[in-house]
Chains A and B, each alone.
Chain A
Amino acid sequence: MAKSLLIISRQSPWSGPSAREALDIALAGGAFDLPLGMLFLDDGVLQLLPSQSASLLQQKDITANLQALSMFGVEDLFACHTSLAERGMLPNELSIEPLHVLRDQEIAALIDRYDQVITL
């Protein structure tokens, strides 16, 4: 059986290529039909804000790519409740769905459930 991989994305979409590069790992793995999950943690939850104006920063908006994750077979998407709350973000106002919002203890259990973990 294929090993499962959890990708933890911890950087905001505007702080360099990290968000994009975490997403690329997920998309590449989805193409191989691997059991993948993606968790948005810390500043990574900022990737889930709707109505971003990336072009004002002369950057590319990755929202459409994030929304395409489920089409690429990456359907287990998670966000950290604490990280959202710390940034004043509401779980029902995020750009991606379905998305499971997890409490801290649930995140520990989630990480435990996966065979391998990558944090970017």
Chain B
Amino acid sequence: MKFAIALYSPAHAPSSRRALLFARAVLAAGHEIVRLFFYQDGVHSASANIVTPQDELDVPAQWRDFVTNNQLDGVVCIAAALRRGVLNGEEAERYSRPAANLYAPWELSGLGQLHDSVQAADRLICFGGP
């Protein structure tokens, strides 16, 4: 089965961890993830600037490794990201901001990518709230 996974919660929210566990389970069961789409506060999970205390689970790093190791399509909504200060080099330059905090494997793109994944997937699974 083809899954699209959308995440709306920040890295420190339990639902971000649930989304990650679900995504791992999807692949472990032999299914496909057509795209991960980070929207609303979910864009924070793609920030390279989150520093997690040493004795806590580093959710942003786990997401990054998960996407990289499985060569997944990890899309961060550009409008939601700009609003929340999550910028790649190109956007930091465009808006004259002093630093970027979004790098590969993440890609900034528009809501069309969410609709595209809705069309491509058998199931859209969303994780939001606490």
Q: What is the total of A-B residue contacts with beta carbons within 8 Å?
A: 45
**What is the interface size of chain A, counting residues whose CB is below 8 A from a CB of the partner?**
18
Contact check, B128 vs A21: say whether CB atoms are below 8 A apart.
Answer: no
Among A22-30, A43-51, A95-103, the stretch that binds chain B is: A22-30
Given A32-B112, A117-B124, A119-B126, A21 and B118 contact (CB-CB distance below 8 Å): no
Closest to A4 in B: B118
- Whether a CB of chain A sits under 8 angstroms from the CB of B63 is no
Q: In whole Å, how far is B123's beta carbon from the nearest beta carbon of chain A?
A: 8
In angstroms, Cα B15 to Cα A119, docked, is 14
Task: Sort chain B's interface into a size bin.
Answer: 10 to 19
Beta-carbon contact of B40 and A120 below 8 Å: yes
Interface of A is mostly: mixed
- The answer to whether B124 and A118 touch across the interface, beta carbons within 8 angstroms, is yes
Give the contacting residue for A34; candidates B6, B39, B115, B126; CB below 8 A. Answer: B115
Q: Would you call A25 and B112 a contact (CB within 8 A)?
A: no
A18 touches B115 (CB 8 A): no
